[in-house]
Amino acid sequence: MMLRELQLCVLGRKLPIEFSDAGMDWAADRIRFLLGERIAKIMLITDEQIGLHYSLPLRRALEARGLQTIITSFPPGESEKTLRRVSDLLDKLVLNGFEKSDIIIGLGGGVVTDLAGFTAACYHRGMDWFALPTSLLGMIDAAIGGKTGVNHALGKNLIGTIHPAAAVIADVSTLTTLPERELLSASAEFVKHALLHGGKLWESVQEDGADLRLWDRELLYEMIPECAQVKIDVVEEDLTDSGRRMILNLGHTFGHAIESATDYSLSHGEAVFLGLRAMLRLSERCGLLDALKAMEIDEVLRKVHLKSAEMSPDDVLSFIRHDKKSREGRLNWVLLRDIGEPAITTRVSEIDVSETTEWLCEAAAIGGKPALQLPKRLKIAVFNGPNLNLLGTREPDIYGKHSYQELEDSIRDFAKENGLEVLIQQTNSESEMVTLLQSARHWADGIVINPGAYTHTSVAIRDAIATIGIPTIEVHLSDIESREDFRRGSLMKDVCIEQIKGRGIQGYFNAIDVFREHYYSITGKIPV
């Protein structure tokens, strides 16, 4: 279902920003529609963690709509946001004969969309790209507004350009795979947008709290486009970041200084939450914000559970002085006059900044209540190899009458009943299976694999299982030992912790149970 259609009007173009919860088929439909008659090749850029979940389904969906797609992925994380990575991506574009009229898709969080957009900006002096953000931060912030680029060894985002995505296509159902830590970071940016805008956004933060991990999913999905609209409005006024866009730094002058002063032991979200609280205090001290209002807002923010952190006021102050928002030697502070009324000012006294910093360090040390412990859910990846997509019609006497879809559905139901997270992928290709296994190392606690015929031949798949070091169970629907001679051996057997064969679909359930019991024996608790 399409949730909302927004537009970013910049550079004389109307760029769609669309939200839905309808999955990769919907995203591919939109891309096909937006390209119209254009015949374009697609370079799908993603990281291995996101790719594990979505790159194969998206490629299939794009190819089913006549769009030839090449996937390229790299390990997840900020350390990949380098010129070297861009250079690799440009090489791939050249070697695969990409033209200016072809398309790049960035599928992932901020690192991926920054890299994809910057690569698109450089190739042939600018080609179109689509952002498919899969993180909350990406959907409300990073993918919108055209800032693309990479880090330099001496600073974050020092190299880059403004090259807005021709469309942002956000499937909010991808948020179910988002790590907790990232949701907290996105919560801080969300609250920042709510403070900048007020209205319905701030009301929902007041009512449901500033920690979005605790929100009802439906409310979250409804509010994401509202939040994105705040960013769109600011960017439309100041695409090139020469004035108004600075308000998006609310809470970030302190936030960045806290991150640096704690040597990044606090996450970006934790630092920005503290930074926003310090900003409130400073706004009040400068006489901009009414004291009662400051307390009312702080009441909402201080309920977010953060880790405690030790930092010295001198360190924080010295990082503040080096803040990149200082122009012509003076630091531009973004403060608040009221909810929905930010103010940019250089008129902030040293004393007020010092005293606020003292308060901040004390608050960080004692205010850090224990971090919120959400129950750990075991994550199991299930990979099925060649020809298993034809289950039901394929030799039913041997493999059973259930279709492949029924196999997937019953594994999902079983996992749900047992409180586990499960990801299921099928591929007919050996190299894709190797890529899936490698990508799983960023996500899965355990792997269940039915390598199909590759069981008997593939050294590459065996090596991948041995290399990634995640406990893996080999499953076969049929009893391979009692069939033809060439099926008796398995190259996987001695790199897997167990082989289960001849039990049909039940074999997959048994494999998942092995992981549950293993987890139970280590932690003493049943995963919920």
The stretch among 32-40, 66-74, 188-196, 472-480 that binds ligand DQA (CB under 6 A) is 472-480
Positive or negative: CA dihedral 83, 84, 85, 86: positive
- Which of 455, 458, 472, 499 touches ligand DQA by CB under 6 A? 455
| Three-class DSSP category at 99 | coil
Tell me, yes or no, if 396 is annotated catalytic. Answer: no
- The closest of 467, 458, 526 to 495, measured between CA atoms, is 467
460 sits near ligand DQA (criterion: CB under 6 A): no
- Which of 308, 387, 389, 506 touches ligand DQA by CB under 6 A? 387
CA atoms of 302 and 296, how far apart (whole Å): 10
# binding residues, ligand DQA (CB under 6 A) = 10
- Which of 258, 381, 465, 480 touches ligand DQA by CB under 6 A? 480
Nearer to ligand DQA, 254 or 404 (CB): 404
Cβ atoms within 10 Å of 38's Cβ, excluding its own: 12
Nearer to ligand DQA, 363 or 480 (CB): 480
CA atoms of 280 and 254, how far apart (whole Å): 11
Nearer to ligand DQA, 173 or 389 (CB): 389
Least distance CB 469 / ligand DQA (angstroms):
23
Nearer to ligand DQA, 53 or 476 (CB): 476
Tell me, yes or no, if 188 is annotated catalytic. Answer: no
487 sits near ligand DQA (criterion: CB under 6 A): yes
Q: Dihedrals φ, ψ of 148, to 5°?
A: -130, 155
Tell me, yes or no, if 38 is annotated catalytic. Answer: no
- Reported for 153-161, long-range contacts at CB under 8 A and 24+ positions apart, including other chains, are 155/324, 156/78, 157/114, 159/83, 160/114, 160/118, 161/118, 161/121
Tell me, yes or no, if 450 is annotated catalytic. Answer: yes
Residue 254 Cα distances to 155, 194, 316, 350, angstroms: 17, 18, 8, 14
453 sits near ligand DQA (criterion: CB under 6 A): yes
- Which of 477, 491, 505, 512 touches ligand DQA by CB under 6 A? 477
CA atoms of 424 and 243, how far apart (whole Å): 47
Least distance CB 366 / ligand DQA (angstroms):
58
- The closest of 10, 294, 338, 346 to 197, measured between CA atoms, is 338
Tell me, yes or no, if 394 is annotated catalytic. Answer: yes
Q: Which residue has the tokens 């072809």?
A: 102
452 sits near ligand DQA (criterion: CB under 6 A): yes
Nearer to ligand DQA, 174 or 455 (CB): 455
Nearer to ligand DQA, 58 or 477 (CB): 477
224 sits near ligand DQA (criterion: CB under 6 A): no
Q: For residue 431, what is the DSSP state? A: H
Residues 309 and 254 sit within 8 Å (Cβ to Cβ): no
Least distance CB 175 / ligand DQA (angstroms):
33
Residues belonging to the active site: 386-387, 394, 399, 450, 453, 474, 476, 483
Binding site for ligand DQA (CB under 6 A): 387, 450, 452-453, 455, 476-478, 480, 487
